[in-house]
Amino acid sequence: MDFHNIFVLIFLAGTFFSLILEMFLERIDFSFRSKHGREIPEILNGQVDVETLNKTCLYEDAKYKLWIPSFLLETVLSLYLVFSGFYPALFGWVWSWTDNSFFAAFLFLLLGGIPGAILSLPFALYSEFGIEKQFGFSNMTFGMWLGDEIKGFIINMVIMAPLLLIMTALFKYASDWWWILLGCVYFVFSLGLSVIYPLFIAPLFNKFTPLEDGELKTRLEELLKKCGFKASGLFVMDASRRSGHSNAYFTGFGKSKRVVLYDTLIEQLTTDEIESVLGHELGHYKHHHILKKLFFMVPASFILLFGASFLIKLPLLYTGFGFLNVDEVPYQMMFIGVFLLSLVFGDWATIFTPLANYFSRKDEFQADAFAKKICGTGEHLCTALIKLNRENLSEIQVPKIYSVFNYNHPPLLERIAALK
């Protein structure tokens, strides 16, 4: 480890910047919750009680107390793996097994993720079977949890493998233009995944059944028709098998588009409230929010890949972290360069979070306004948001700086104030 290396210094600065910022934000939220978490805002009188707020504070405190050791140990592990020379040793061991750059990259990423997975395991188990069960959310059995983890791992490998194969092939056969070709592949792959996910991946975890005929289905279909939204159907997801948390969302692309309602959502809200929630989601569609984000993300991805195409060719990037001291980086090592760049600059992404959250919250306000307009009133969306907040034990009031960094949706009170 070369502590005079610019990339090493950026990595260390980013790690400690993230550590201090995250600890500061969570501590600020904890202190604010301790002082104001049990106060009932005047606007919510009669809709939220002290007992619920007390339970919410206990739930958030429990998650916070679990997050502290988890986050600190993850940071320590990250530093240890870098300082100990684990990654160069792993690369050397993998390369001794195969001289194929694709298999070397696949094995490196697979084995390199094992320490982090082992560390996170007890925290994940306690979160699911300790905290979530204690507060009445988790309905998971250990067998179900293990099955989900295995399926998730296999799906990630299936998705990662072809992208990794294409990337390593481009390093070899298109060394000067790999970044633009990989950007195009990633864009097409993402669109394809949005079509495949609702049809083949989501059903591996949950059962989706068509919404039964009745007033709710009629109202929602009329709303979809009114907004000109064509979907392959309205589906109910058996979310209650795993959790008591509730939600609704659009998924898919083109003919695979579908509206999904959690069964817990249907149990908790009235027909008017569910209609208003769907109206909010349709607001995102009518205002082209997903398309606008895509128009931003695609150029941003190409810019990042363009920058990476220069940096991964710098021997300085590799030597600082204990890899071979070479005058020219061979294509077989370029995947290591991409991995090192994610280490070096990964924690600095937090700087851009407030900006991303600002635009996301702006979209949410716009979608709320659309729901109010299309449904003729904002009252039903207000009561729906209050119920969802209450049933999910979400905080009602949070410090402004905390929401700026951690909330991509506006806090409850801000949404209600805007709707009223």
Helix (H, G, I), strand (E, B) or coil at 262: strand
Other residues' Cβ atoms within 10 Å of the Cβ of residue 208: 16
Nearest to 23 by CA among 331, 350, 385, 387: 350
Sign of CA dihedral 34, 39, 41, 45: positive
Active site residue 368: yes
Active site residue 132: no
Nearest to 387 by CA among 251, 272, 260, 258: 272
Catalytic residue (one of 128, 281, 363, 364): 281
User: What angle do helix axes 101-112 and 114-126 make, rounded to 10 degrees?
Assistant: 40
CA 141 to CA 149: how far, in whole Å? 12
Nearest to 25 by CA among 354, 406, 402, 350: 402
Catalytic residue (one of 29, 60, 347, 368): 368
Q: Is 395 left (phi over 0), alpha (psi -120 to 50) or beta?
A: beta
CA 85 to CA 317: how far, in whole Å? 14
- Tracing tokens 């009602």 back to the chain, one arrives at 396
CA 206 to CA 47: how far, in whole Å? 32
Helix (H, G, I), strand (E, B) or coil at 44: helix
Q: How far is CA 108 from CA 9, 11, 155, 387, in A?
A: 24, 20, 18, 46
Burial of 73 (0-12, 13-18, 19+ CB in 10 A): middle
Report the b/e string of 336-359 with b at 16+ CB within 10 A.
bbbbbbebbbebeeeeeeeeebee
How many residues are recorded in the chain? 420
End-to-end CA distance of the chain: 58
Q: Which residues are catalytic?
A: 281, 368
